[in-house]
């Protein structure tokens, strides 16, 4: 299903923002739901003061509009960051999931703070229309490795792939019939990527990159495999395909009753997968 031009409306579709309690992750300065519109909390990997400092010299970020972060979620899990008495009716995360080093663990953390009839609304970049154009698709092996090792910071592998393969891609042009990617430049050479990773390995610290790479089709293939392994806690409620000249797809996930048996859960999850 195409969603037209009003992406904010699609991300909020089916959600009563004025009457429900929500959590938005990574809102920065462009929240999908504002505090004037409803009871919404904001979570990010840094507190507001630290976000302002981080983006102080970024011309694309108006630091005066950065939201007040309610929950800092980084080294600790979301369940640890959010008081136990709070459960959310919905969670919104626009262009966040790809930054998470451990996607499987992240999804389980969302489920932990979501009510049983809750909704997760995600906007996810499709690599075919972004600077990730040349990067390989994320595999199950990579996701399982990240999950079992409980990574909370991007790995050297994720960092190197990002530095070596991100490129100066014009989203509009990727949709044109005559698009030719052969002349597109990478942001870094292989040598520069290696040197960056060596330095990060030496000094440590969190370095933000896209850790997972999907197309809408590869995402559904991964979800299908995760369901069969019992590693996906949701059903697919809606899927919105990329709109021409955009760089993302939008997916709505539905929480499931904890009382369901594993067999019942899997049947319902597999039945919810859209055919595209």
- Rounded to an integer, the average pLDDT of 160-165 is 98
pLDDT at residue 2 above 60?
A: no
Q: What is the pLDDT of residue 170?
A: 97
Q: Which of 71, 133, 120 is nearest to 94 (CA)?
A: 120
Task: Over range 148-152, report the average pLDDT.
Answer: 96
Mean pLDDT of 138-148: 98
Domain ranges of the chain: 7-148+211-272
> What's residue 149's pLDDT?
97
pLDDT at 74: 81
Quote the pTM value: 0.94
pLDDT at 3: 47
Name the token pair of 156: 């050297």
SS3 of residue 194 by DSSP: helix
The first and second tokens of residue 186, run together, are 């990478």
Average predicted confidence (pLDDT) for the chain: 95
- When pLDDT is averaged across residues 95-115 and rounded to a whole number, the result is 97
Helix-helix angle 190-203:156-165, to 10 degrees? 150
Q: What letter does residue 186 receive in the DSSP assignment?
A: B
DSSP letter (8 states) at residue 167: B
Q: How many helices (H) and strands (E) does the chain have?
A: 10, 7
* Segment 145-160 mean pLDDT: 97
Question: Which residues are within 8 A (CB) of 38 and not within 5 positions of it... i.e. 6 or more apart?
Answer: 17, 18, 19, 20, 22
pLDDT for the residue numbered 5? 54
Percentage of the chain surpassing pLDDT 90?
Answer: 93
pLDDT tens, residue by residue, 183-206: 999 999 999 999 999 999 999 888
Contact 124, 150 (CB under 8 A): no
The pLDDT tens digits of the residues spanning 42-91 come to 999 999 999 999 999 999 999 999 999 999 988 889 999 999 899 999 99
Here the tokens at position 122 are 């995600």
Q: Are 88 and 65 in contact (CB under 8 A)?
A: no
* pLDDT tens, residue by residue, 216-244: 999 999 999 999 999 999 999 999 999 99
Instruction: List the beta bridge partners of residue 122.
Output: 93, 251
Residue 48 near residue 68 (C-beta atoms within 8 A): yes
- Please give the pLDDT value at position 205: 85
CATH superfamily of 7-148+211-272: Vaccinia Virus protein VP39 (3.40.50.150)
Band of pLDDT at residue 1, cut at 50, 70 and 90: very low
Residue 235 parent element (H or E): strand 234-240
CA distances from 271 to 114, 173, 256, 265, 266 (A): 22, 36, 13, 10, 8
Greater confidence (109 vs 6) lies with: 109
Q: In the numeric block, which tokens belong to residue 164? A: 């070596």
């Amino acid at each position: 299903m195409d969603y037209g031009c009003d992406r904010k409306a699609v991300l909020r579709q089916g959600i009563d923002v004025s009457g429900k309690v929500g959590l938005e992750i990574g809102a920065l300065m462009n929240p999908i739901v504002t505090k004037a519109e409803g009871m919404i909390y904001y979570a990010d990997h840094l507190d507001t003061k630290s976000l302002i400092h981080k983006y102080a010299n970024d011309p694309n970020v108006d630091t005066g509009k950065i939201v007040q972060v309610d929950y800092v979620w980084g080294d600790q899990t979301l369940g640890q960051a959010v008081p136990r008495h709070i459960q959310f009716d919905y969670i919104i995360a626009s262009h966040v999931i790809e930054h998470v080093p451990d996607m499987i663990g992240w999804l389980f953390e969302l489920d932990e703070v979501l009510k049983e009839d809750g909704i997760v609304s995600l906007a996810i970049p499709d690599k075919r229309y972004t600077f990730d154009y040349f990067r390989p698709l994320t595999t199950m092996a990579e996701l399982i490795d990240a999950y079992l090792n409980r990574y909370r910071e991007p790995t050297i592998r994720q960092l190197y792939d990002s530095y070596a393969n991100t490129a100066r891609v014009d989203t509009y042009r990727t949709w044109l019939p005559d698009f030719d990617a052969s002349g597109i430049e990478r942001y870094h050479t292989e040598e520069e990527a290696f040197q960056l990773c060596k330095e990060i390995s030496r000094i440590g610290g969190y370095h933000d990159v896209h850790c997972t790479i999907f197309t809408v089709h590869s995402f559904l293939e991964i979800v299908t495999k995760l369901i069969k392994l019992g590693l996906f806690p949701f059903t697919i409620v809606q899927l919105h395909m990329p709109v021409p000249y955009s760089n993302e797809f939008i997916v709505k996930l539905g929480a499931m009753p904890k009382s369901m048996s594993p067999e019942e859960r899997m049947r319902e999850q597999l039945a919810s997968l859209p055919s595209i």
